[in-house]
Amino acid sequence: MNLRRYLPILDWGLTYDRGAFSNDMVAAVIVTIMLIPQSLAYALLAGLPPEAGIYASIAPIILYAIFGTSRALAVGPVAVVSLLTASAIGQVAEQGTAGYAVAALTLAFLSGGFLMLLGVLRLGFLANFLSHPVIAGFITASGILIAASQLKHILGISAQGHTLPEILMQLWENLGQTNWITVVLGMLATGFLFWVRKGLKPLMRRLGATPTVADFATKAGPVAAVVATTLSVWLFGLDERGVKIVGSVPQSLPPLTMPGLSPDLIQALLIPAILISVIGFVESVSVAQTLAAKKRQRIDPDQELIGLGAANIGAAFTGGYPVTGGFSRSVVNYDAGAETPAAGAYTAVGLAIAAMALTPLVYFLPNATLAATIIVAVLSLVDFSILKKTWDYSASDFVAVAVTILLTLLMGVEIGVASGVVISVLLHLYKTSRPHVAEVGLVPGTQHFRNIHRHNVETDPKVVTLRVDESLYFINARFLEELVQSRVTEGCEIEHVILMFSAVNEVDFSALESLEAINLRLSDMGVGLHLSEVKGPVLDRLRQSHLLDVLNGEVFLSQFDAWQSLLPRTRTT
């Protein structure tokens, strides 16, 4: 069982049958057709030779099939990680040089090693520091950046930059170099791909095609765009008229490569590798959990870290770059009927065949078509509705989203996501530093206690019950002290204060000292301090201290017990 935990292939592999093989093969064919143009396009986005995209889709998929727990996740290059890769290695090497390719291998190696380390130490929960609003904001901004960065290929001009102002300025300065033949090809390809996504399937259904055939045709749309534009360039010699093409792509299986391990390179890429790892893992595990839930299956997030880590290390030694589980291809894989990770392995075989036999066919493929493929794919990720949703629900979440989007667009992807994480943590600390503490009273005819400002409840001027709705730790301990002090002033008629701990899951040492200070201050005022509904683990910790020994009141099992016990005392004094 322990071996199966680290090698999930032993779990599903022992029950693999002919039916699963058939379903997996069908899914593999569909995903392979979809993945060929995507792999080439995402390598272009990362600033790498097109074959790097195919190489990054072979060994990583096989390794994930061995170590991963999701039965539908399709691993490979994705848009956001490709953008992060270009941003990271563009700072340490010039695009097109051998050093650039080595930096990409090193980035994949560091990312894989970090993921493996988190998985072995079972630290997958650290990814929770990236909140959903921050992820949504980052992906939206990244989608805009990616689409803007590909406009240079649509226009046939040169332009650089890692921020939106830089990209737009470069596009404007070089607009005079526009190649109008490239523009026509790029616009036609973009328009066609948008139509394929929205209009082809309904059209084919109206023409009498079966749902399976219509779905397959929709998935193969990018291949049709590739074939049509490649033939156009070849037949009319458009490459001689300024249309930039992919050119020669090595006709081989992934080579054995070695990442650079120089201390300077590792130091320069370590932080970007960690960001890529965390973002890739969050995207991947969210997709995997969604698809697993549909079939009432489960995934192990910590083992997913190991699976993705192995995939990235595999990419580092086979000419690739950082990879993760892609949303679009995983959904296609699931919808196509994939039953096990073997579907990914079969996809890898299909891509290996493509790398050996089909690469000469993409010699005349225009870069504009690959750019159109990227633009259509990433614009579906742009979702500005998250701004309205967070504005309506939570001002702090809106701030996190808005700042993440703005900083990503204006200062680059790494600063954007890092700032989003920092802002999320700071906002969380701010909110927990001022926990909600409600003064409660007894709902008539029941044993329930509710907020005196929201409900008609019974109270007693000599008994104050404060329900603490947050764990107590160093950052909010003083807040509770000041709140109790402001409520129990000198000369008031309060004789008992009850702290209702039903929502308190933790009391750290700083909070313990604050409780002792509250107890001492109330004792000097002749007011009793009582606790109610203290959870077992919290009570165990308090018993290890001397708070309960010096407490000038009692610890009650329930708030109703405290009410019944203390009220008669106040009425007889």
Q: Pairing mode, if any, of strands 496-500 and 449-451?
A: unpaired
Q: How far is CA 280 from CA 69, 83, 139, 382, in A?
A: 16, 12, 11, 17
Question: Averaged over 285-294, what is the pLDDT?
Answer: 79
pLDDT score of 1: 52
| Rounded-to-10 torsion of CA 414, 415, 418, 424 | -140
- Contacts (Cβ under 8 Å, ≥6 apart) of 17: none
C-alpha closest to that of 83 among 134, 131, 135, 44 = 44
Cβ(221)–Cβ(200) below 8 Å:
yes
Amino acid found at 457: V
pLDDT score of 379: 83
pLDDT band at 490 (very low <50, low <70, confident <90, very high): low
Residue 316 to residue 323: CA distance in whole angstroms: 10
For the segment 24-46, what is each residue's pLDDT rounded down to a tens digit? 888 888 888 878 888 888 998 89
Residue 298 to residue 339: CA distance in whole angstroms: 13
Residue 375 to residue 194: CA distance in whole angstroms: 10
Least confident of 105-114, 253-262, 279-288: 279-288
Res 573 pLDDT > 50: no
With 0.85 as the threshold, say if the pTM is over it: no
Least confident of 31-40, 56-65, 520-529: 31-40
C-alpha closest to that of 474 among 521, 426, 429, 518 = 429
Identify any residues that bridge with 11 across adjacent strands, giving them in sequence order.
none
SS3 407: helix
pLDDT band at 535 (very low <50, low <70, confident <90, very high): very high
Identify any residues that bridge with 531 across adjacent strands, giving them in sequence order.
499, 555
Cβ(411)–Cβ(417) below 8 Å:
no
Identify any residues that bridge with 437 across adjacent strands, giving them in sequence order.
468
Res 510 pLDDT > 60: yes
Write down how long the chain is. Answer: 573
Question: Averaged over 52-77, what is the pLDDT?
Answer: 91
Residue 553 to residue 376: CA distance in whole angstroms: 67
pLDDT score of 392: 92
Torsion over CA: 12, 17, 20, 26 (sign): positive
Q: Who has greater pLDDT, 56 or 80? A: 56
- Contacts (Cβ under 8 Å, ≥6 apart) of 257: 105, 316, 317, 318, 319
Least confident of 357-361, 368-372, 504-508: 357-361
For the segment 197-240, what is each residue's pLDDT rounded down to a tens digit? 888 888 888 888 888 788 777 777 788 888 899 999 999 999 89
pLDDT band at 570 (very low <50, low <70, confident <90, very high): low
pLDDT score of 2: 66
Residue found by looking up tokens 């960001």 in the block:
275
pLDDT score of 426: 83
- Contacts (Cβ under 8 Å, ≥6 apart) of 49: 43, 101, 249
Least confident of 123-132, 406-415, 424-433, 469-478: 123-132
Q: How far is CA 242 from CA 229, 245, 300, 529, in A?
A: 14, 9, 51, 83
Residue 453 to residue 103: CA distance in whole angstroms: 61
Residue 434 to residue 390: CA distance in whole angstroms: 21
| Mean pLDDT, the chain, integer | 88
pLDDT score of 491: 66
Q: What percent of the chain has pLDDT over 70?
A: 97
Least confident of 2-6, 8-12, 291-295: 2-6
Q: Which helix (H) or strand (E) holds 498?
A: strand 496-500
Question: Averaged over 558-570, what is the pLDDT?
Answer: 87
pLDDT band at 527 (very low <50, low <70, confident <90, very high): very high
Give the start-end residues of each E strand in 227-332: 324-325
